[in-house]
Structure 1
Amino acid sequence: MGYKYYEGNWGEMRARAKLQWDRISYDELEQTRGNFDELADIIQERYGLDREDALAQVEDFFSRY
């Protein structure tokens, strides 16, 4: 499976992601650099979700923008 990345303005999207997932720090969001898998890993850990649910949240979030 190839890695998926957000290809737009990550600085703007990072702020929106922080509003969506407030348990994740700006630094952690910056470290992902828009990588869907890395962001899903953090969401999974912080929110106690299974992998599929975390990845579905990421895909849904980015599909809106």
Structure 2
Amino acid sequence: MNKDMFEGKWEQLKGTVQKQWGKLTDDDLDVIKGDVKILAGKLQEKYGMTKAEAENAIKDFKD
């Protein structure tokens, strides 16, 4: 799934994202709006991941 598809399907994916990363709140998901960079930043903030770890986690999720 590429970036445009991820952003376009965000409303459908929000529930799945929240199941994967339960520390993300509804407010976090509203701010993210499918933007991979913001999602990576929130994962770093909430889970203490490095930038590379967050990007890899998102890549694995998208695959």
Aligned residues: 60
After TM superposition, the runs of 4+ consecutive aligned structure 1 residues lying more than 4 A away are none
Deviations 1:40-62, CA, capped at 9 Å, x for gaps: 00001111111100111111111
Amino acid in the other structure paired with 1:38: I
TM-score (norm 2): 0.83
In structure 2, runs of 5+ residues without a counterpart are: none
Alpha-carbon offset, residue 27 of structure 1: 1.7
Secondary structure of 1:18's aligned partner: helix
RMSD value over aligned CA atoms? Answer: 1.4
**Match runs of 1:9-20 below 5 Å:** 9-20=9-20
Amino acid in the other structure paired with 2:62: F
In structure 1, runs of 5+ residues without a counterpart are: none
Q: Percent identity?
A: 30
Greater RCO, 1 or 2 (C-alpha within 8 Å, sep 6+) = 2
TM-score (norm 1): 0.80
